[in-house]
Structure 1
């Protein structure tokens, strides 16, 4: 009997330590919604890039056009803002349901360690836009986003790390085929987000 009580106490202590060390209010549904936003954005991006309706062939010459790049950048910005806003709203709601604080040491660590690669990548992408190196913008987005996920995964669910590795791999493949950046962008920010969001939801949210 005493042994069972000791095990229960150890389990409780471990749970408390995990709650304080990791940001566990991250919502799986926010990942799903981010993926849906990305696919919607990719649809508009497709309409912008493949204007002629001539099929899904190699279209690098279209994405070298400054006007096209500007419109694609606006679409990407809208997708980013919608994704961040949804993540904040759903994660805040989840934290309140679990009676947890949304802003704690773990969320600060996640923000710092995930933010450094994101900010670095964002600045690099702005430089690439300025210099006209449009063909490697999509790979850079995926790679630096993946690095941010891997870096920040120590402060949240470990599943995020594998999503990060997948994004990095897609980014490297996209770098080999710059004319198909839109499709890799759709796969990374759209399909992978939906898959991992569903996994996280059924693993951590639905049963809690």
Structure 2
């Protein structure tokens, strides 16, 4: 009788152990399933192919462009860091606009190349509904800011262009951040703050441009690359 009871107890313990292990395994599988579902939902609702390297490259291009503009000003006999009020000729303004356009094209091109490469590596689509929503939300403040800056340019208010571009660019990043990494939002806030600060230091737009489009992009790119590589 005692042997039978011991056998029954052992059998019960084994059954209980088996049930507990099964519950634990099911719990682990359930957790893994939830994680997988969350990952799929994030992929479908957020553009996660942005490359940090593209931010670094865009920042370097912006800094090189700022340095080039500085030497263009020196060529025209303008010492930018002297703190004097300068009147720019129409040809000089047009030349700086062309330089700015080239910098923008190079930054966008590098962004596309590195993002497309990252998408292929992760086997993700680069063009879908999320991408369209991202670009639309990014473009609305950016285009608005571009038209606003053209108005400033038309009226000869050159000193306000740098602060305005930083602020509207920051707003564009914040507006688009809900469709991609949250880090984009932080970068946008930094650009907005930098633009607001530059309003109190009119005439130093090239410095703030370099900090915003150059240094901040490089820092953001390095953080993104390290965080999401």
TM-score, structure 1 normalization: 0.94
- With over 3 angstroms needed to count, the CA separation of the structure-2 counterparts of 1:55 and 1:133, relative to structure 1, is closer
Helix, strand or coil at the partner of 1:179: coil
Aligned residues: 204
Determine if the alignment matches structure 1 residue 188 to structure 2 residue 215: no
Determine if the alignment matches structure 1 residue 109 to structure 2 residue 136: no
Runs of 4+ that moved beyond 3 A: 50-55
Tell which deviates more after alignment, 13-22 or 52-61. 52-61
Distance 1:45 1:33 in 2: 18
Which residues of structure 1 form unaligned runs of 5+? none
What is the deviation of 1:180? 0.4
What is the deviation of 1:196? 0.4
Q: 2:181 aligns with which of 137, 154, 157?
A: 157
Helix, strand or coil at the partner of 1:107: helix
Q: 2:19 maps to what in 1?
A: none
Q: 1:82 maps to what in 2?
A: 106
Distance 1:75 1:149 in 2: 23
Q: 2:81 maps to what in 1?
A: 56
What is the deviation of 1:49? 2.6
Partners of 2:58 and 2:217 within 8 A in 1: yes
What is the deviation of 1:65? 3.1
Tell which deviates more after alignment, 172-181 or 12-21. 172-181
Q: 2:4 maps to what in 1?
A: none
Q: 1:18 maps to what in 2?
A: 42
Compute the RMSD of aligned alpha carbons.
1.3
Partners of 1:60 and 1:135 within 8 A in 2: no
Q: Which has the higher contact order (CA 8 A, sep 6+)?
A: 1
